């Protein structure tokens, strides 16, 4: 039959392909060598541009060649007229577009494009923005393009509202998109800055300031309510999509703790001053200044534990005799020069110690994560989430968000529900049950701190609450008695050394095998660690740095079974006269 | 000429509908010698798409019962040998009935159109004359003035229409005949004089529609491709997709409480929906997620397998809103459908979502008629022989074995074959068994604006209209915009489809009158909200039931393709094609990927240029016609810079005569196929 179709055999095809490949490789290698030679000889001419262009067109990730091109272009800039330079760079942009088609995620191409755009005598930013639109339409997670877009927006002053609408479109077509949500979180505060300091929250929404310096990270209420609706649409549509939940959490609370000196404590005994900061700092590198009775003092600051470089708590010993006379009154001022903040503390005559601080209750400290919002807004958000939970009782994101909302509203009143939700969370998301345990421990500690401070006592008791970790220990600076019995603590971490006033520690019935935090606690007298997992004598070594330790209860620990333990302990801790084994 | 056909083939296929074309392509692809003929002058049978003028001719043809030509060889008796008997095929095509036409567009001549006949003053609507007995004075349309529908009187053939329109137009048809002629001139001549500007706020007249008639591609059946349906899979697998281009259906609408609403079906739709409350969004998404793999949660629906899908939905705490969407627009089944079937339909819809867009559907640019032609092209590429306006008069049966040994064509030539595939319409009445077929009611409207205007004019919408009253059928509407290359800019082509209970017009009129205005000439401002119908066509088409060989009294090597069914998808046709293929060549693969053009070696034939596929033209008219068709199509393609559509089109459409296309290989660059994600 005429014209019957016959096909080349696979072997024929492969042979053709192989030859083709070989040919290409040869050309590629020759061109590369030629290019390198030219660079070695310092030739900066058109031909070199040509050669590198051939190579980059097939392999746009050849960083050395982009560098070479920049060298050539910079040179040509100096010898050509502006129009010629303009044309040169425009050609470069066209070439880059073909490279980006080869590999839309090429670091080299995007970087070079940014460079060329900034060198272009008469840049066409609209074209660049259009390019970003196109690339993000095809792949809304191309972070190279997101970066470039931010550059273009910055350089050309694209209105923020326009960019916001762009994210609207991307989110509308697919809301599982961290990049778009994140971009919104940077745009909104610029577009509709909330009243950070001003007392009236209803400040004009429609006067957007596009100044990028204005980083209040707050958004006016009207705008926020719209955002809540948008993001709720997303998580009601697909509650398992994390990106919307994360954005929601950002919306609900972006309060940052004010940077400040939260507490100054002074003790005549040992003539020590302890300073607590609102965040961990390195006292050795940030400047802060101690003034006692008008005299600046040069002192050595140390962190509560030698292994912690950044610590919220710093300790110093004053020169002997500075405040030892109980009949004198002293005034101390600690100044954090970098932050232009200070705290005064007066030590009255006849008093052995004194402190000055803002308490956690005063600061609503533990509600800070979501505390920016008015409680009415939080309340209605809680209702929405509860509604969703009825439909999706197993949804972890919803459970977690409800817990956070409850904490923001009233941590103590919702304590019972919070614990119940944590229980479900650990069941439905068992892979992360330890995370939830730690988070729950944190919240329980926060609640206990609040209760303690409402009661105005220096006793912290948190027994039988399945604590798996300890945190906020800087808040326990003034505590004298602590009871952590019947939890699941594995260790007393280095930060435990921040409890500078601690006298009595009870931590029975845990699984503690590490006492690293019981170091340099000047007032510690009694330690009860019954039924833990201490097994080696060396585990107890930190206690040797606690000068006042007299009573130590180690019953029910493996170490208590060891022979001659009593004598060894007596050698190691001569002051501990009351040893229970 | 058809008389030169070889006397022996492996497979002879009569009819160029989708199923037949797929069978032909599949057989040819694995080396079977295929002769593919159709008595019509166009490809795709009842799957065809027509230009406006082509449609007018088709209507004329329908009135004559599809009998193409009387002068057929009848002296085939001597071709029979000892021990053989003849089985004469039907020549009457009765698949189209109840044809009715209404024209509401202004009959005023085009202002800027000098050549438009100024005599067009007859009032609308016009009506297909040959159909008067079928629908006589239809009471549903009060304005109706039985008046000669224009251009086709006495010009059944396309060639006659294009060539001789002016001369043959009888007096009463003047109004349409003249623009027709101008159209023909224009096609023969040069560029169209004026492209319609979309910004122009001007009523579109009938003359304008006729003048721009070649911009229309009007489908006889209205179907869409499910993105994960068998047809799309086949197009991809076989590489036939390189011959066609597609557009995504951009939205799905439904008619509810007297207004049109967008149906949220994808995740993005649900997210963006303004009509759903938060809780509804959750409930809808939850139900859809369940449907995606409902088989894995039998506890959810097993109690309902004997009950209706509607009952099942009632128990799912879904609001009325959502129940409506699910039943009518997503599952697209009647309420009484069994739960299992409803869930299956829903799942099918959902699985097709997101492959190419946020709706599950694709539509071929230039109309559905492209698809059978693409397969014909594939068949021709692998050596299939094509012959339009050529048919098979009778089958030669071996008395002893009862098998079909050969066929005798309309030229009286005997062609032996081992398998014969034919469209149901050719099967003689007495050989068809079983109950009468159901009918589909079809409506085709040309309107002046979208049913639901949006930011962009170029929306391609699927609209589901649930039964307006109990017992009535649900109506499915597709609204095509001009970028689908199926209608002129400034208009929309609206296809309505439902299961028939009476005539198409009677079935569809209630829906049309609710959604559109049907006032002739200028419409008042009162109805400005609704699109105005400029022109309307209604007809009934035979609804292919799910086929089984047992329902025909025919030899085992004769295979019947029942034509289009009333469903939205194409799975039945493709499944049948594959079945028939395996009956013909049991051990071969069905449509394996076609090789790249550059891997094909030609033997025996010297290199041939493009267009070599057009065989020796037997009649001057044919050649002229074929040439014109090509011009029209390529030009249209150029307009929209759809470079490839034109050449693909040319290959399919080119000839009214035989065309041995083996050499007219795809020199065209492969068009953008629906690639797999």
pLDDT digits (tens, 9 = 90+) for A26-78: 999 999 999 999 999 999 999 999 999 999 998 999 999 999 999 999 999 99
For residue B607, give the DSSP letter: -
CA distance, residue A173 to nearest chain B CA (Å): 5
To the nearest whole Å, the CA of A18 is away from the closest chain B CA by 15
Report the gap between the CA of A7 and the closest CA in chain B (Å). 5
Q: In what order do the strands lie in the sheet with B439-447?
A: B96-103, B533-542, B439-447, B492-499, B475-480, B461-465, B251-256, B259-262
What residues of A are in contact with residue B600 (Cβ under 8 Å)? Answer: 5-8
Residues in a beta bridge with B138 = none
Q: Which of A41-50, A222-231, B72-81, B194-203 is least confident?
A: B194-203
pLDDT of residue A285: 80
Distance CA B637, CA B669 (A): 14
Beta carbons of A174 and B285 less than 8 Å apart: no
- Under 8 Å between Cβ of B347 and B339: no
Ramachandran quadrant class, A172 (left: phi over 0; alpha: psi -120 to 50; beta: rest) = alpha
**CA distance linking residue B215 with residue B487, whole number of Å:** 5
Of chain A, the percentage scoring pLDDT greater than 70 comes to: 91
Q: Pairing relation of β-strands A459-461 and B84-88?
A: unpaired
CB contact under 8 Å between A8 and B601, yes or no, is yes
Helix/strand/coil for A280? strand
Residue A142 confidence class, pLDDT cut points 50, 70, 90: very high
Spatial distance between the Cα atoms of A263 and A278, rounded to a whole number of angstroms: 9
pLDDT at B368 over 80: yes
Contact A581, A562 (CB under 8 A): no
Contacts of B381 in chain A (CB under 8 A): 5
Angle between helices A178-191 and A242-252 (to 10 degrees): 20
pLDDT in tens, A472-513: 999 999 999 999 999 999 999 999 999 999 999 999 999 999
Q: Quote the CA–CA distance of A367 and A283 in Å, as a whole number.
A: 27
A233 at B interface, C-beta within 8 A: yes
User: Does B138 have pLDDT greater than 60?
Assistant: no
* B381 near A CB under 8 A: yes
Q: Are B151 and B180 in contact (CB under 8 A)?
A: yes
Q: What is the pLDDT of residue B466?
A: 94
Tell me the three-class secondary structure of B129-161, residue by residue.
HHHHHHHCCCCCCCCCCCCECCCCCCCCCHHHH
A239 to chain B, closest Cα gap in Å: 8
Q: Which of B278, B280, B357, B661 to mutate to test the interface with A (most CBs of A within 10 A)?
A: B278
User: What letter does residue B428 receive in the DSSP assignment?
Assistant: -
Question: Can you give A432-466 as a three-state secondary structure string?
Answer: HHHHHHHHHHHHHHHHHHHHHHHCCCCEEECCCCC
Contact: B662, A239; criterion CB under 8 Å: no
Please classify residue A416 by burial: count the beta carbons closer than 10 Å to its beta carbon, then call 0-12 exposed, 13-18 middle and 19+ buried. Answer: exposed
- A47-56, A149-158, A402-411, B115-124: the lowest-pLDDT one: B115-124
B116 has pLDDT over 80:
no
Residue of A nearest to B285 (CA): A237
Distance from CA of B382 to the nearest CA of A (A): 6
Closest CA to B576 of B15, B143, B7, B2: B15
Tell me the CATH number for domain A261-357: 2.60.40.1130
- The pairing of strands A261-267 and A272-281 is antiparallel
Q: Which CATH class is domain A16-158?
A: mainly alpha
A409: which 2 tokens?
């509203």
Contacts B25 to A, Cβ<8 Å: none
Contact A237 B282 (CB under 8 A): yes
Measured distance CA(B347)–CA(B332) in Å, rounded: 11
In this prediction, residue A439 carries a pLDDT of: 95
Q: Who has greater pLDDT, B76 or A414?
A: A414
- Whether chain A has a CB inside 8 Å of the CB on B660: the answer is yes
B58, B123, B127, B142, B289 from B146: Cα distances, Å = 20, 10, 6, 11, 54
For residue B354, pLDDT over 50 is answered with: yes
CA distance B375 to B369: 11
Domain A457-580 superfamily per CATH: Ribonuclease Inhibitor (3.80.10.10)
Tokens of B251: 């939205």
pLDDT at B178 over 50: no
- CA-nearest of A498, A484, A546 to A519 is A546
The whole-number pLDDT of residue A200 equals 34
Pairing of strands B34-38, B385-388: parallel
Domain ranges of chain A: 16-158, 175-256+364-447, 261-357, 457-580
- Is the confidence at residue A373, as pLDDT, over 70? no
**Least reliable range by pLDDT among A357-371, B316-330, B354-368:** A357-371
Q: How high is the ipTM of this complex?
A: 0.77
Are A487 and A463 in contact by the 8 Å Cβ rule? The answer is yes
The answer to whether B565 and B588 are in contact (CB under 8 A) is no
Phi-psi region of B315 (alpha: psi -120 to 50; beta: other; left: phi over 0): alpha
Distance CA A256, CA A371 (A): 10
Touching check for A380 and chain B: CB below 8 Å? Answer: no
| Contact flag A3-B283 (C-beta cutoff 8 Å) | no
- The top-level CATH class assigned to A175-256+364-447 is mainly alpha
Please give the Cα distance from B17 to B93 (Å, whole number).
14
> What does each C-alpha distance from B420 to B134, B397, B404, B574 come to in angstroms?
35, 11, 8, 18
Q: DSSP code of B33?
A: -
Question: Residue A254's pLDDT is what?
Answer: 58
Instruction: Give the dihedral of Cα atoms B463, B570, B456, B646; nearest 10 deg.
Output: -150
Query: What six digits make up the tokens of A233?
Result: 């649409």
Residue B111's pLDDT band, with cuts at 50, 70 and 90, is low
In whole angstroms, what is the distance from residue A314 CA to residue A550 CA? Answer: 26
CB-CB under 8 Å, A174 with B281: no
Residues of A in Cβ contact (< 8 Å) with B660: 2-3
Contacts of A2 in chain B (CB under 8 A): 604-605, 660, 662
Contact between A3 and B382 using a beta-carbon 8 Å cutoff:
no
Of A5, A172, A388, the CB nearest to B282: A388
Per CB-CB distance under 8 Å, the chain B contacts of A4 are 31, 383, 603-604, 662
Please report the pLDDT score of residue B411 as a whole number. Answer: 87
Residues of A in contact with B595 (CB under 8 A): 7
Q: Which of A40-49, A61-70, B204-213, B657-666 has the lowest mean pLDDT?
A: B657-666
- Report how far apart, in Å, the C-alpha atoms of A339 and of each of A286, A356, A362, B307 are: 10, 19, 21, 73
In the structure, what pLDDT confidence band is assigned to residue A258 with cuts at 50, 70 and 90? confident
Residue B553 has pLDDT above 90, yes or no: no
- What does pLDDT average to over chain B? 77
Give the DSSP letter of residue B162.
Answer: H
Q: Say yes or no for a CB contact (<8 Å) between A3 and B660.
A: yes
Q: Please give the pLDDT value at position A250.
A: 86
With an 8 Å Cβ cutoff, is B435 touching chain A? no
State the SS3 of B270-329. Answer: HHHCCCCCHHHHHHHHHHHHHHHCHHHCHHHHHHHCCCEHHHHHHCCCCCHHHHHHHHHH
Residue of chain B nearest A9, judged by CA positions = B599
Between CA B223 and CA B361 the distance in angstroms is 10
Distance CA B644, CA A565 (A): 92
Gap from B48 CA to chain A (nearest CA, Å): 28
A6 to chain B, closest Cα gap in Å: 5
Q: Is A386 on the interface with B (CB under 8 A)?
A: no
Q: Which residue has the higher pLDDT, B58 or B178?
A: B58
Nearest chain B residue to A16, by CA = B599
- Do domains A175-256+364-447 and A261-357 share one topology? The answer is no
> What span, in angstroms and rounded, lies between the C-alpha atoms of A579 and A550?
8
Q: Determine whether the interchain pair B270/A237 forms a contact, defined as Cβ–Cβ distance below 8 Å.
A: yes
Q: How far is CA B102 from CA A96, A400, B145, B224, B491, in A?
A: 57, 63, 10, 26, 17
- Cα-based angle B405, B406, B408 (whole degrees, multiple of 5): 150
Contact (CB<8Å) B383/A174 = no
Do the beta carbons of residue A542 and residue A518 sit within 8 Å? yes
- Record the tokens describing residue A30, joined without a space: 């020759």
Residues with Cβ < 8 Å from B454, sequence gap 6 or more?
B251
Distance CA B322, CA B288 (A): 11
Taking CB atoms and an 8 Å cutoff, what residues of chain A touch B31? 4
Residue A449 near residue A475, CB atoms below 8 Å: yes
Look at residue A358 and give its three-state secondary structure.
Answer: coil
Nearest to A243 by CA among A303, A321, A165, A179: A179
Classify residue B258 by burial, with Cβ atoms within 10 Å: 0-12, 13-18, 19+: exposed
CB contact under 8 A, A392 and B382: no
- The CA distance from A378 to the nearest CA of chain B, in Å, is 17
Write the DSSP symbol of residue B539. Answer: E
* Nearest CB neighbour to B604, from listed A2, A172, A384: A2
Minimal Cβ distance to A5: which of B268, B270, B381:
B381
The answer on pLDDT for B439 being more than 80 is: yes
- Name every chain B residue with its beta carbon within 8 A of the beta carbon of A175: 267-268, 271
Cβ–Cβ contact A172 with B under 8 A = yes
- B283 interaction partners in chain A (CB closer than 8 Å): 391
Q: How far apart are CA B589 and CA A567, in angstroms?
A: 89
Selecting from B267, B278, B602 the residue whose C-beta is nearest the C-beta of A3 gives: B602
The Cβ of residue B353 has, within 10 Å, a number of other Cβ atoms equal to 23
């Amino acid at each position: 039959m005429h014209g019957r179709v016959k096909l080349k055999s696979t072997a024929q095809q492969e042979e053709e392909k192989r030859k083709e490949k070989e040919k290409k490789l040869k050309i590629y290698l020759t061109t590369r060598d030629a290019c390198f030679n030219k660079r070695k000889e310092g030739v900066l001419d058109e031909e070199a541009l040509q050669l590198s262009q051939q190579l980059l067109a097939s392999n746009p990730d050849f960083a050395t060649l982009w560098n070479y091109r920049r060298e050539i272009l910079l040179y040509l800039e100096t010898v050509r007229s502006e129009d010629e330079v303009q044309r040169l760079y425009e050609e470069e942009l066209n070439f880059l577009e073909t490279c980006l088609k080869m590999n839309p995620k090429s670091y080299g191409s995007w970087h070079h494009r940014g460079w060329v755009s900034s060198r272009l005598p008469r840049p066409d930013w609209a074209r660049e923005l259009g390019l970003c639109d196109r690339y993000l339409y095809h792949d809304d997670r191309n972070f190279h393009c997101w970066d470039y877009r931010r550059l273009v927006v910055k350089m050309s002053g694209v209105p923020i509202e326009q960019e916001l609408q762009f994210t609207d479109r991307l989110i509308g077509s697919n809301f599982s998109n961290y990049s778009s949500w994140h971009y919104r979180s940077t745009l909104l505060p610029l577009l509709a800055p909330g009243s950070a300091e001003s007392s009236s929250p209803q400040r004009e929404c429609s006067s957007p300031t596009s100044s990028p310096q204005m980083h209040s990270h707050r958004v006016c209420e009207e705008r926020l309510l719209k955002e809540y609706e948008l993001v709720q649409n997303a998580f009601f549509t697909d509650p398992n999509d994390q990106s919307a939940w994360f954005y929601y959490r950002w919306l609900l609370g972006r309060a940052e703790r004010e940077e400040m000196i939260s507490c100054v404590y002074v003790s005549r005994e040992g003539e020590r001053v302890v300073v607590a900061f609102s965040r961990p700092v390195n006292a050795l590198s940030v400047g802060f200044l101690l003034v006692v009775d008008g005299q600046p003092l040069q002192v050595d600051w140390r962190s509560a534990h030698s292994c912690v470089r950044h610590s919220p708590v710093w300790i110093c010993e004053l020169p002997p005799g500075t405040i030892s006379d109980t009949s004198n009154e002293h005034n101390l001022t600690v100044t954090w020069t970098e932050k232009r903040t200070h705290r005064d503390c007066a030590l009255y005559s006849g008093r052995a110690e004194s402190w000055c601080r803002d308490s956690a209750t005063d600061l609503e400290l533990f509600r800070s994560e979501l505390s920016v919002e008015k409680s009415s807004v939080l309340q209605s958000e809680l209702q929405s989430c509860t509604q969703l939970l009825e439909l999706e009782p197993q949804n972890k994101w919803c459970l977690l968000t409800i817990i956070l909302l409850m904490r923001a509203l009233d941590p103590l009143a919702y304590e019972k529900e919070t614990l119940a939700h944590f229980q479900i969370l650990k069941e439905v998301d068992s892979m992360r049950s330890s995370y939830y345990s730690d988070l729950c421990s944190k919240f329980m500690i926060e609640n206990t701190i609040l209760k303690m401070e409402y009661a105005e006592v220096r006793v912290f008791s948190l027994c039988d609450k399945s604590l798996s970790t300890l945190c906020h220990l800087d808040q326990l600076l003034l505590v004298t008695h602590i009871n952590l019995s019947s939890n699941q603590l594995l260790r007393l971490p280095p930060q435990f050394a921040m409890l500078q006033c601690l006298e009595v520690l009870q931590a029975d019935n845990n699984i503690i095998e590490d006492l690293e935090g019981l170091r340099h606690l000047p007032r510690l007298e009694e330690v009860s660690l019954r039924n833990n997992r201490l097994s080696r004598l060396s585990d107890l070594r930190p206690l040797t740095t606690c000068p006042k330790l007299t009573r130590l209860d180690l019953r029910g620990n493996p170490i208590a079974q060891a022979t001659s333990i009593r004598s060894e302990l007596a050698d190691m801790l001569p002051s501990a006269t009351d040893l229970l084994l | 000429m058809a008389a030169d056909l070889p006397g022996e083939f492996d497979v002879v296929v009569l009819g160029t509908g989708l199923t037949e074309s797929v069978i032909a392509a599949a057989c040819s692809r694995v080396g079977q010698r295929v002769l593919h003929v159709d008595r019509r002058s166009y490809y795709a049978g009842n799957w065809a798409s027509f230009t406006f003028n082509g449609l007018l001719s088709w209507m004329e043809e329908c009135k004559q019962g599809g009998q193409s030509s009387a002068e057929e060889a009848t002296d085939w008796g001597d071709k029979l040998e000892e021990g053989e008997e003849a089985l004469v095929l039907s020549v009457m095509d009765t698949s189209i009935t109840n044809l009715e036409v209404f024209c509401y567009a202004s009959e005023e001549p085009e202002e800027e159109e000098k050549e438009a006949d100024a005599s067009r003053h007859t009032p609308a609507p016009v009506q297909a004359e040959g159909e008067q007995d079928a629908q006589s004075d239809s009471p549903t349309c009060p304005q109706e003035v039985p008046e000669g529908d224009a251009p086709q009187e006495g010009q059944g053939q396309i060639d006659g229409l294009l060539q001789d329109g002016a001369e043959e137009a009888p007096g009463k048809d003047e109004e349409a005949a003249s623009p027709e002629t101008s159209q023909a001139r224009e096609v023969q001549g040069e560029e169209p004089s004026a492209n319609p500007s979309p910004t122009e706020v001007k009523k579109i007249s009938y003359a304008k529609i006729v003048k721009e008639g070649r911009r229309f591609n009007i489908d006889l059946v209205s179907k869409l491709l499910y993105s994960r349906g068998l047809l799309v899979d086949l197009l991809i697998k076989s590489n036939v997709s390189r011959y066609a281009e597609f557009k995504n259906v951009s939205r799905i609408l439904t008619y509810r409480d007297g207004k049109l609403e967008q149906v949220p079906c994808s995740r993005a739709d649900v997210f963006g929906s303004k009509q759903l409350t938060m809780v509804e969004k959750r409930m809808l998404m939850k139900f859809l997620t369940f449907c995606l793999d409902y088989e894995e949660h039998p506890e959810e629906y097993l109690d309902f397998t004997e009950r209706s899908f509607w009952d099942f939905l009632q128990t799912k705490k879904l609001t009325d809103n959502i129940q409506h969407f699910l039943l009518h627009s997503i599952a697209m089944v009647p309420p009484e459908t069994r739960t299992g079937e409803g869930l299956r339909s829903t799942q099918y819809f959902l699985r097709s979502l997101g492959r190419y867009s946020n709706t599950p559907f694709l539509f071929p640019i230039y109309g559905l008629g492209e698809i059978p032609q693409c397969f014909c092209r594939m068949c021709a590429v692998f050596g299939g022989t094509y012959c339009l306006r050529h048919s098979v008069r009778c089958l030669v049966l071996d008395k002893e074995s009862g098998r079909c040994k050969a066929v005798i064509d309309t030229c009286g030539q005997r062609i032996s074959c081992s398998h014969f595939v034919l469209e149901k319409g050719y099967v003689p009445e007495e050989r068809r068994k079983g109950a009468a077929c159901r009918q589909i009611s079809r409506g085709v409207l040309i309107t002046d604006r979208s049913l639901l205007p949006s930011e962009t004019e170029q929306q391609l919408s699927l609209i589901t209209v649930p039964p307006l009253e109990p017992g009535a059928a649900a109506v499915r509407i597709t609204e095509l915009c001009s970028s689908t290359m199926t209608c002129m800019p400034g208009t929309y082509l609206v296809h309505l489809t439902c299961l028939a209970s009476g005539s198409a017009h009677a079935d569809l009129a209630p829906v049309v009158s609710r959604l559109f205005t049907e006032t002739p000439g200028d419409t008042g401002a009162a109805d400005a909200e609704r699109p105005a119908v400029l022109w309307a066509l209604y007809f009934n088409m035979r609804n292919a039931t799910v086929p089984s060989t047992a329902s025909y009294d025919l030899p085992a090597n004769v295979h019947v393709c029942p034509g289009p069914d009333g469903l939205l998808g194409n799975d039945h046709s493709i499944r049948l094609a594959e079945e028939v293929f395996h009956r013909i060549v049991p051990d071969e693969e069905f449509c394996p990927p076609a090789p790249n053009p550059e891997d094909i070696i030609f033997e025996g034939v010297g290199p041939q240029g493009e267009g070599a596929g057009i065989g020796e033209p037997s009649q001057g008219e044919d050649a002229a016609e074929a040439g014109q068709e090509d011009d029209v199509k390529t030009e249209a393609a150029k307009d929209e810079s759809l470079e490839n559509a034109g050449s693909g089109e040319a290959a399919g459409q080119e000839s009214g005569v035989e065309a041995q296309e083996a050499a007219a290989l795809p020199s065209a660059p492969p068009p953008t196929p629906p690639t797999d994600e």
